[in-house]
Homo-oligomer: A and B are copies of this chain.
Amino acid sequence: MDEVIISKAITDSYLKDLLDSMEVDVAIAGAGPSGMVAGYYLAKSKVKVAIFERKLSVGGGMWGGGIMFSRIVVQSEAKGILDEMGISAKQYQKGYYIADAIEAVSTLCSRCVKAGAKIFNLLSVEDVMIRENDKITGLVLNWSAVSLANLHVDPIGIRTKLAIDATGHDAEVCRIVARKTEAGVEVRGEKSMWAEVGEKAILENTRQVCPGLLVAGMAANAVFGSPRMGAVFGGMLLSGKKAAELAMDLLKKTKR
């Protein structure tokens, strides 16, 4: 056991992956449930995908279930995704499945990485890269610790064919695009809670918001001003899957 070999192994291995991920097919901002589901389906289809997560750990608000009671609810429509991932769930009442939040988020992440998606934690999306007509062509990244520590350090840019904003309620990437480009994106903000309507809307809202940028998960409802849903995660999972499918379609069109 030599400490320097350990230091080199870690540095070498990480940096190769980081350099390799500086040009990808799809870059996802946010490793919450919808981002990881999207990453899973993209990687499974051999799309080159990287997920950039601001926090030390993945999963966003899913770990805490509802009011720190770490359970989540998933409706029938999304039960298939739980099954595909191997996440156990018990029926609470017809149409309502209850799962352990910790099992759910860790299993989602484990499956996503094993499918081939690269997750880079501790990196924040600080800005986007643009080209003619404000087309989004990349993400601008920095260590989250830089802003947490209030340091003044420049970011770097990475190139992507498509970006997905899966940053949750804040819709961070869309807000940046709204403020710093002329791409015509507007973030309306999520509305008050209405689970039924919110769950439906999230799928419709999962779409391309401007050339090069899709939105998924709660960010989708935030962008289009649809209601929030609370600790029910079916729509989130389905939105991630739909975002993956949309991205693959768009990539195909681009190739032709």
Listed in ascending order, the chain A residues whose CB lies under 8 Å from chain B are 1-15, 18-19, 22-23, 56-61, 63-73, 75, 86, 88, 90, 92-93, 95-96, 98, 100, 102-103, 105-110, 113-114, 119-122, 127-131, 134, 138, 140-146, 148-159, 176-177, 179-181, 189-196, 199, 227-232
Q: Is the interface of A mostly helix, strand, loop or mixed?
A: mixed
Which B residues are CB-close (under 8 A) to A114? 86, 88, 103, 107
**Residue in B closest to A140 when the chains form the complex, CB atoms:** B193
Q: Which of B5, B140, B190, B192 contacts A93 (CB 8 A)?
A: B5
Bound complex: CA A231 to CA B63 (Å): 25
The answer to whether B65 touches A14, judged by C-beta atoms less than 8 angstroms apart, is yes
Give the copy number: 8
Tell me whether A231 and B6 are in contact in the complex, defined as CB-CB below 8 angstroms, given that A18-B11, A110-B110, A121-B63 are known contacts.
Answer: yes
